[in-house]
Amino acid sequence: MNDKKIVNKTQKDKYTTRKEVLTSFFLSNEYKLVTRKQIVALFSIPKSDLKQLDRILSELEESGIIYLNDSNRYVPYNKSNLKKCKYQAKSSSFGFGIVEEGEDLYISHKNLNGAMNGDDILVEVINTTGKSKEGKVVRVLKRNTSRVIGKFSKSKNFGFLLPIDDSIEDVYISKKNSQNYKDGQVVEVLITKYPTENSKAEGKIERIIGDSKDSHIDAKSLYISYGLDKMESFSPQIEKELEKIPIKVLDEEKINRKDRTSEKIFTIDAADAKDLDDAVSVKKMGENYLLSVYIADVSHYVKEKTELNKEAISRGTSIYIPGKVIPMLPKKLSNGICSLNERQERLSLAVDMLISPTGEVLNSDIFKAVIKVTKKMSYDKVYNVISNNMDEDLEKEYGMFKEDLLLMEELAKILNEKRKREGCINFNIPETHIVLDDNGDVVNVEPYPITFANQIIEEFMLVTNMVVAEKYYFLELPFIYRIHEKPDEEKLRDLNLILSNYNLRIKGIKDVHPKALSDILDSIQNDKDKDIISNYMLRSLKLAKYSSECLGHFGLNAKYYCHFTSPIRRYPDLFIHRIISKSIENNLMFKENELLRYEKQAENYAKSSSEMEKNATKIERDFESLYSVIYMKNFIGEEFDATISSITSFGMFVRLENTIEGFVAFNDISDDYYIYDESTRMLIGRKTSKTYKIGDSIKVKLIKSDVLTKQIDFEVV
């Protein structure tokens, strides 16, 4: 080792040691608040090391271990009423501080202190008496937004960026930085000065995205603002790794795998699906059923310590927007060697389950297999077969598999009935389907067509995920589970206010059982009412997430649950495939250092995958909202039948039959002056005593469909 390297290593070791010592110092029970000057004296830090000290203190502040108070003393945040959070903006006027543990903190605009969506922040808890704890941003620890995309608005002496993300406030652009650009252009702006409590952010235009005359500019802008354009391709290092992955299954890869290539195996997906990661087959075994589920063996190709694996961890999930998929894995894998394509040999992780006539799993086996899918099927065609609605073409294509499909339907109904008996909550919420033409223009918005053909696959995947989770829980190996914690009592009390309008009530909310919620949904006969209640019930529950601990899934009423069945598009599935494969290969034997490594990975990947899932959901919803607004612009002035989906103190939300939701302000209900009754969530006319309540059918007229705010406004006819 040369002298320069020795010096660098010595400095690095000194820096690491000093940072560890200072961290312990700040977090010790004996610590008294000190200034920087006192730290220098206490630790006898030489003048030559002061820059290093400042760097360490800055890093400890950024990581939320300490903060500098008004008297220039360092305070450990865990010894105060401060919490380290990530700011999640809901609009430009409020948001939430998302904490790692405990209840998230509501943050109003006046308490933002210049924080922007995605920033790491330090928050002081200022109110705990309301429905949600309230916080005030003390300091922005780390800025996570450097560029913003939006529409440029030009005036004589300066300009403003109107961000397409409505959670970000306008960005000021000086005359010097705006004189070469035209009003209405969509641009990308580099933030040069972040907002404060009293001033807006300032920026400089970096590039022109397009012109507002371009019919696709809004979708293009949203796409770029989320960085999806940069996710379309993979790095040169990954492309190089892909070259070593074969395009077909090699003979040596089949060793120690069960050969199921001669079995009748089917994929059932949307007609245009290309990333097929699950296939199924069902046989009758006496009075019982043998369900075999085959999942693409992605972990065989995506190895640890590769750039491909790092990128999959970083992405966490595939993102599905109208007309496009941003995949977690490159197409060579997702549409190629990993996809369970018809009549192609593929490697699989498989689960055999012997299931009784009442839906009990009598025994199961998890193993590695080689398969060859017999037929790629689509939901719509399968539904026509099981509904006995077959024309000549369908008879020719699917006729020979009709008995197999009817047997699948039979077993799926048994599994569904078992889940219902045990109290699984089946939400009745239609998904929105955005229909684009070949030019990428939105031509229709409609409820996504769901039939019992979809239910067949859902039932088979649910039981597989439960079986795999239970087995690996009792093996006590590192794992990632899908968990859904019990709802908060306060949220259930709010839900009871809504249910009272339907003469319904949840009993035993202190220790509620999922069956209590399931029974309420089952008791509602009207589909519109069921949609509304399902939506409210879902909002009352906590979000499902990933965890290295097996804490159960409330909504499914499942003690053991994981995501095993989609490793092409979700990283937790890929991670547990790796654990399962190694356990099969090594006869359940792991080295101690391996177990420790996988335990840490399970914890880290559960956390990062949960965050990336939230991010993907937000992106998908934003595109859905954007296309809905673009579509509804064609119908300004037209009248629609709608259902009141929500009532607030400032207006009410209504949902159309095509699933699109819009807002009715109080000013746009002209027949009376209405008062909001919070106890019943109703509007009551002051003169007429006429009421509007959640679930009511009303006639509305579309008066506004704003692409910038993604808001649709109606008035009551």
**Domain end among 202, 225, 248:** 225
Residues 73 and 91 in one domain: no
pLDDT at residue 603 is higher than 90: yes
Residues 161 and 303 in one domain: no
Residues 440 and 574 in one domain: yes
Residues 314 and 428 in one domain: yes
Residue 534 lies in a domain: no
Between 482 and 1, the more confident residue is 482
3-state secondary structure of 554: coil
Identity of the highest mean pLDDT range in 185-199, 280-294, 503-517, 683-697: 280-294
Pick the closest to residue 712 from 618, 646, 631, 645 (CA basis).
631
pLDDT at 122: 84
Q: Give residue-wise pLDDT tens across range 158-173.
A: 899 999 887 888 999 9
DSSP 8-state assignment for residue 335: I
CB hemisphere CA count around 717 (13 angstroms):
12
320-342: average pLDDT: 96
pLDDT at 234: 97
User: Residue 19 belongs to a domain with what CATH number?
Assistant: 1.10.10.10
3-state secondary structure of 280: strand
Q: What is the largest CA-CA distance in the chain?
A: 90
Residue 507 lies in a domain: no
Phi-psi category of 113—alpha, beta or left, where left has phi over 0 and alpha has psi -120 to 50? left
> Per mean pLDDT, which range of 79-88, 551-560, 572-581 is the poorest?
79-88
The range of the structural domain enclosing residue 219 comes to 147-225
**Tokens found for residue 476:** 């006590």
548-556: average pLDDT: 96
pLDDT at 292: 98
**Which residues does residue 281 pair with via DSSP β-bridges, in sequence order?**
292
Residues 71 and 213 in one domain: no
- Percent of the chain having pLDDT more than 70? 97
Amino acid at 474: F
Residues 375 and 253 in one domain: yes
Q: How many domains does the chain have?
A: 5
As a residue count, the chain comes to: 717
Torsion of CA 685, 690, 696, 701, to 10 degrees: -70
pLDDT at 306: 97
pLDDT at 6: 44
> Per mean pLDDT, which range of 266-275, 444-453, 673-682 is the poorest?
673-682
pLDDT at 32: 87
pLDDT at 599: 97
Backbone angles phi, psi at 617, to 5 degrees: -60, -40
221-240: average pLDDT: 94
Stated pTM of the model: 0.86
Residues 18 and 71 in one domain: yes
- pLDDT band at 179; cut points 50, 70, 90: confident
- Whole-number mean pLDDT of the chain? 91
Pick the closest to residue 535 from 618, 672, 643, 406 (CA basis).
643
635-659: average pLDDT: 93
Residues 213 and 101 in one domain: no
Residue 492 lies in a domain: no
**Domain end among 22, 55, 77:** 77
Residues 53 and 114 in one domain: no
pLDDT at 9: 52
418-427: average pLDDT: 92
Asked if 296 and 564 touch (Cβ cutoff 8 Å), the reply is no
Cα–Cα distance for residue pair 663/397, rounded to 1 Å: 47
pLDDT at residue 2 is higher than 60: no
43: Cβ contacts below 8 Å, ≥ 6 apart: 18, 21, 22
Residue 213 lies in a domain: yes
pLDDT at 5: 47
pLDDT at 415: 98
Instruction: Report helix, strand and coil shares of the chain as percent, to nearest 5.
Output: 35, 30, 35
> Within a 10 A sphere around the Cβ of 146, how many other Cβ atoms?
11
Residues 190 and 328 in one domain: no
Residue 59 lies in a domain: yes
User: Residue 187 belongs to a domain with what CATH number?
Assistant: 2.40.50.700
pLDDT at 269: 95
- pLDDT band at 83; cut points 50, 70, 90: confident
CA distance to 267, 564, 566, per residue, from 572 (Å): 22, 8, 9
pLDDT at 125: 86
pLDDT at 75: 85
Asked if 565 and 577 touch (Cβ cutoff 8 Å), the reply is no
User: Residue 117 belongs to a domain with what CATH number?
Assistant: 2.40.50.140
**Domain end among 565, 590, 624:** 624
Residues 105 and 217 in one domain: no
6-33: average pLDDT: 79
435-439: average pLDDT: 94
pLDDT at 527: 81
Residues 57 and 120 in one domain: no
Between 38 and 63, the more confident residue is 38
Residue 493 lies in a domain: no
516-526: average pLDDT: 90
pLDDT at 11: 63
pLDDT at 7: 45
